[in-house]
Each structure stands twice: as C-alpha cells, then as structure tokens.
Structure 1
C-alpha cells in the first residue's frame, strides 16, 4: 500500500495575520493590517498579485461609478477609500484608462503589468512578507479555532501560525478545508467562466466610429454574430459581447466568450475536470472570436491576439455561509445597513444561460454588511473578496473589483482590531469598522 510522504523539512513561520490570496481584497487587507502594525504574511499561488483582475484578465475596474439613464452626462464616482488610493497609483504610472461607457454606467480599463507593480509596492511599503508560488493545502486547527495554514512551496512544506487568518482565495478554500458552512451558487449552478483576451493591431478610431463609445457592442454586432453562426463558418456561442479600448495603442480588451461544458452545463472551476475543460474551450473560443473580428469588424482587419488570460476568468464558485447574507433584493432595492462596510452601484451582471443578464440599480448604491465576511462557525477566520456570503444574483453584482478593494479595506481593519484588542471577529461592531473607513475617506455616509 503506497504511503503519502514528503521527506523535506517542514518550516514554521509565525505572524499576527496570514492572508491567503493576492487579489484586490487580499492585497488591500494585508496592506491595511500591516500599516496598522500587524506582522502580515500573504500567500499567492501565482508569481504576482491581482487575482481575477490580472490572472483572469478581467482588465477593468468595475463598480466605481453610479449607473443612470443619462450616462452621457459623465461618470458619477460612488466608491472611495482604498479603491481610490489604488486608482491614483495606477493613474500615476499610466496604467489606467479614462472612464469608458458600459451601458448605463462606466468602467476603467487597466494595464495588468502596472497592476502587478502597484501591488508589489503597496505590500513592500507596508512591510508585508509575500510568498509567491505557494498554495495553502490545509488549515491548522485547534477545536473550532483556525490557528494558521499549511502551505506547499517548491522548497518544501511550510506551517504558518497566525493569530488571525483571512480567506481571500476567491473560492472560500480555507472555509471548505475547515469544514465550515458554505454553499455553491444557485443550488450548485454557478456563473459561466470567460476566457478574456487582447487584440492588437486595431484601428481604434475606425472601430469607435463604426460602433460607438459604449463598450457593450451595439445590436448590429450581435446580429452579425448570429448571422455568422448560421452560415456554419463560425462557432461563436455568445452574441452580446463587450470590447474595450485599452491603455495601449491599437488594442482591444475582449470579453466575449461563453464557456460551457460539452454536455451544455455551466462549468464549475472548483472541479478539476471542469476547470481544465474551461481552459481549453476558452482558448479555442478566443481564437474563433478573433478570426471573426478580423473578418467582419471595422478597424480589426489586420488584428491579432497578443495576450490571453493566465486562466479563465472565474465569476463564482463557493461562498461562505456568513453571520449575515447579502440578498438579491438588497442589491435591486439599494438596501443600506448600519454595519455596512462597503457600497456598490454595480448592476446584477449574471453570466448564466444563453446570454448575460444585466439588471441596473439607477442613481443609487446598496451596502454590504460586515457580517457577510464573518463565518457562521469557526473562530479567528475572516473572508474577503467574492467568496462573501451572498445569494446567487447578489454575487453577480458584489463580486467586482472596486468592491473587493472595499472589502479588503474593512477586513484588514477588522483583523487589526481582533488581534490588538483580543476580540473575536464575530464580536467586532461593523458600525465601528464603518466609522474607521469613513475617517479614511471611504465616504460611506456621503
């Protein structure tokens, strides 16, 4: 009978806080906690930070601006705090485009290389210990308390003992490892992943003249895709597509694939077979759309694929079952909470079924309460990012990048208070966190 083993020496590190995941939420939480005096370690499986925005190539910072029926009047900022600091740093390096139309609101296209560098600088300046190319494989527990994580590295196994732990994995990985309550999508169905790519060699001026300023392509483009499919010459599973001019000359960011399994169901990246199938399907689809653009779209006649996501963009997998759950009706109704620690104007943007569903919240924001990031059971653990406790359609809004910065901002402070004052995360007042965020220009109260 084979015996599981690793003969390499197991190292140990000790810290106040360990953060698993270097996406927008993880970087922010680690930076905030370290700025407030905690010893912090962040563990990231890639060789760079950015999460879905960089590895998944989402390429935009969504959720910064209000939506309205009069977007021609210009963008109305709605999210501030750490998100604003990150935006400013990106702007200073030329890594962030001006706001561009996305239906009834606006978004901003970023340079993923600059994003990596800004993240590196934030973590370095704050004194965070960064461990790249490492994966958490187990949680270290004593009773119902998380005492840290077991991490795999090329050098060998590593035990990180921490007073508090933040699961910023995007997939609630630590929650699952600890056996804490969680759930997956809508009775197990999740939103489609997408393979996002960049198209170079585009005459952007001609492209915009033909199709307008809105990055959601007009109906005539959708009709062209339908006709192309009917001809039998192309296989383009999604007709409603989004194309964004980027910060680089002659380039479009292309969000257009719709990846489903060979059996027609939504693929769930939690499952290794599904994740692998999504990658190969995504690359095939990206090439097919690029061929269609070159053959049929004005300005794209000599275009070519110059970059593709490191992995498919993952919109939804596993959510923590939190002390509080953000409900679909909270999003559509613009609900405010006394312990709201983040705000969002972003629509429900649901990628499931034959075409994306977008349900707008106009001239308003909703708030996300602190309890969405505190597990129902288990101590010493907080979550940050898109694995928050939220219903299926609510996640389709609450998952986007600007809000993940806000979550990290709040949860970094919560971890600091928990360590310094010896308070369990579930006993911290969300209203107190809100007050701290407002002192740091989050403008949650206007």
Structure 2
C-alpha cells in the first residue's frame, strides 16, 4: 500500500523533523496495541507502534498484573466445573503462544471463574515475535506529546524520543494508550470514573521460595483469599486492603501477589492522570508492598522462608479516561447480560471495583454480555479509534470490560475497522459494527 503523506495542518510543527508516514499508527503497546498493530500489519498496511517503555505488554508486564482475565465463563461453583472459554480470536492466539513458550499456567480458580497466570519475560518475547513477524515498525522509549490535526481529523502525532522531537504522519490512528491520550489531546470529550473518582491502583509483586504444598493446603485452590485470611488482614491496621489475590506462577515456588491498595500518604484517593498523584502512588506502593510481604511471612503457612523477588516496574492502573463514544457500554448492559448484533467481544468477567478496603465484586453467573463495536469510536473527530480500557463505558461497566482477554479483541476490532476505513475511504463513525463482527468471525 502507498505510504501516506498528508498536508501538515499545524504550522507550529512544520520545523519538527518527520520520522515518516504510515498507513496506521498505534499508540501504546499493551494487549490492545499488540493485537491492533499485528492485525493491521498482517492486513498489508504499513504500521508504526509507539511505546513509552522498552517492551510491549502494558500493565500486563510493566504493572505485573500477570494474568489473562476474561477468557472463561463464570459459573456457580468452579470446583465442580470445567473452564468454558468464551473469547478466542487474538486472545486465543496469545494464549497459545504463551503456552508454547512455557509461560502460562493452566486455568486457576478465581472466585466464580478462572484465570491463567503468565510469565512476564515470556510475554515480552511472545509479543516481540508477533509484532516482528507481522512487520510492525516499533518505536520504544517514545512518548506522544501532541497531535497534528487538519480540521477535525487526526493526521499525525508529535513524539518525544531519546534524540528529541519528531512528527509521524498516519492515515489512521489507533489510540491504545489506555488513557485516551490522543483523543484527549485532540480536545475531544472524555470522562473519568464516577464523577471523577477512579479505581485505586495496585502494586503487584512476586515472592519466591514458597513451600507451595503447605501454602495451598492452607490457602486452598481459589486464588482469592479465604475468610480466615480476611480475618487476619482486618487485624492489621498498616494493610489497607482486606481482600487479596495470590497466584502461583509457572516458576517453582513463586507466587504473584495482588494484595495492595494504593492511596496518598494522607489517605486520599489518587488520580494517576495527575503527575503529582501518580508519583506519590509509586512511592506509597513500595511501603505497602513490603508491609504485605511481611504479613505473608508472618501469617501464611509456606511463606515463612519466602524472599521478595521484585516489585512491578510501575503501579498497575485500572482506570483513567474513557471516551465519549458513538455507543456507551452501560452498567445495566453488564448486569443484565445484554446481547447485541454488533459485538466485538463477549465478557463474563464480574464488575470488580477497587476502592475501599475490600474490592466490590458482582458476578455474572452462567452468562455473558456483548461489547458493541461503536464503544471504540469517538462521537467527534475523524481518523481515530481507541482500543483497550479507554473505550466508552460507564464506571461499573468499565470495571468489568477492561480486562486482558477483551482488550486483545478490542485491538483486533480496531485494526479491522482501520483497514476497512482506509480501503473504503469512510470515517469510523460510518462503519456498521455488524460488518466488523462478520469480519472478525471470518478471521478468527
């Protein structure tokens, strides 16, 4: 396909060196970005993936979230049932690749469903294999600092690299930043959480040298802590979170710990789109993780001789901005398991709200809801579509639909839509979601 070279619409960036022109520019290398860039390149497009870190994986790796959530149906009692996978596509492709690398556990019980725990190092390699195999050009250690527009159309991004500023031009942009960064920079409408209140971040960490047989005998097969652990946590004032999740990994004697709640040092809730709050979250998280590690060694059988392997590279962020989309996933859509004819992903994941001492969890048992395509499409602004957790959704709905398996499919759907938009010369707002669903079926 021909490389895109639009007329630059913004005088202020005319003197900034041009890195190049691409058919599709993908902003962000998390699960949605990996899927979007790979799918777009395999469709024959020139694709640039921009990532602020030195690897792909997003919060799944940098935040060490470490699990593929959302693959399976919820059931009344997983201890007497078998996992039923409900989402495939790129999510299944990634699952198979991780499994082939020895980087994925078998399904583990998580409440009323299952998750699989992945090895972050293996995840980095699998992502690299997929992107390089598809011919995606990657710019690591690069951040988007501004947008280049022509009227209401996004035609390029201004980047900051280790060698200074550069501009990149594109026919279409897939905003997989997780924070709707490109959409926000365009001045398009976004929302944050419940009237500005967003979910707490967490600091994940790993511990080693755990006596797993003794640990599992005490903890049980469910990765969510049993009531006897909640009772112990409630007696520890220094620990802010009273319901926690621990996941044995593929590595012998290793456990991935999701046991922290991150606030400000003064106890306030933090908004990680604020650089001061985000920086304070990173600092506070160190102390909270170490305190929880001490609790494990003191209170949980099998952890007495454990050692602290490492913190995540950064706090795990669950929620920031959501776009104002052509369609919006509503709380009722999730609770009532609503089905649509333009679905890009099924989800049976619970509404999982992380603020307060105990996460609030509302399960969908033996059912699922559909996420419509148009939740990825901003109402205003041309040439841009989102993928990942910044899709258009109400606060509680987002607490369900934001997880990894679904984000892979949002990325795949966004790439298919970008391909269609370029080939047929139409805006994302004019694409029929039913057509995207049919195209997703034929490429699954």
Q: CA deviation at 1:353?
A: 1.9
Measured against aligned partners, the alpha-carbon deviations of 1:291-310 in whole angstroms (never above 9, x if no partner) come to 11111110000111102111
CA contact under 8 A between 1:9 and 1:156: conserved in structure 2? no
The equivalent of 1:19 in structure 2 is 26
Could you tell me which residue of structure 1 aligns to residue 209 of structure 2? 201
Secondary structure of the 2:23 match is strand
Q: Which residue of 2 aligns with 1:232?
A: none
Following superposition, the deviation at residue 9 of structure 1 comes to 6.3
Given candidates 154, 173, 177, the residue that maps to 1:165 is 173
Name the counterpart of 1:301: 304
Q: Which of 271, 274, 280 is the aligned partner of 2:283? A: 280
> What secondary structure does 1:12 align onto?
strand
- Find the partner of 2:191 among 154, 177, 183: 183
Partner of 2:349: 346
Q: CA RMSD in A?
A: 1.3
**Separation (CA, whole Å) in 2 of partners of 1:98 and 1:266:** 35
- Cα displacement (A) at 1:322: 0.5
Q: Which residue of 1 aligns with 2:331?
A: 328
Query: Please, which moves more after superposition, 29-38 or 70-79?
Result: 70-79
Q: Which residues of 2 match residues 31-46 of structure 1 at below 5 A?
A: 31-46=38-53
Q: What SS does the corresponding residue of 1:64 show, helix, strand or coil?
A: coil
Aligned partners of 2:282 and 2:297: how far apart in 1?
23
Q: Distance in 2 between matches of 1:70 and 1:246?
A: 23
Alpha-carbon separation, structure 1, partners of 2:236 and 2:127: 42
**Please, what TM-score do these two structures have when normalized by structure 1?**
0.95
- 2:56 corresponds to 1:28: no
Query: Displacement of 1:354 after TM fit?
Result: 2.4
C-alpha displacement of 1:224: 1.1
What does 1:388-399 align with in structure 2 at a 5 Å threshold?
A: 388-399=391-402
Deviations 1:55-83 (A, max 9, x none): 11101000000111121212111111111
1:173, 1:362 → 2: CA distance?
A: 35
For the pair 1:226 / 2:234, whether they are aligned, the reply is: yes
2:99 to 60, 84, 91: 91
Gaps of 5+ in 1: 230-234, 442-446
CA contact (8 A) 1:57 1:310 kept: yes
Does 2:55 correspond to 1:48?
A: yes
Which residue in the other structure is 1:444 paired with?
Answer: none
Q: CA separation in 2, counterparts of 1:304 and 1:285?
A: 16
Task: Compute the displacement of 1:264 (Å).
Answer: 2.8
The number of equivalent residue pairs is 431
Q: How far is the alpha carbon of 1:311 from its aligned partner?
A: 0.5
Secondary structure in structure 2 of the residue aligned to 1:305 = strand
* SS at 2:235 equivalent: helix
Give the structure 2 partner of residue 429 of structure 1.
432
> Aligned to 2:385, what secondary structure does the other structure show?
strand
Match of 1:310 among 286, 310, 313: 313
Q: For the residues of structure 2 that align with 1:32 and 1:423, how far apart are their CA atoms?
A: 19
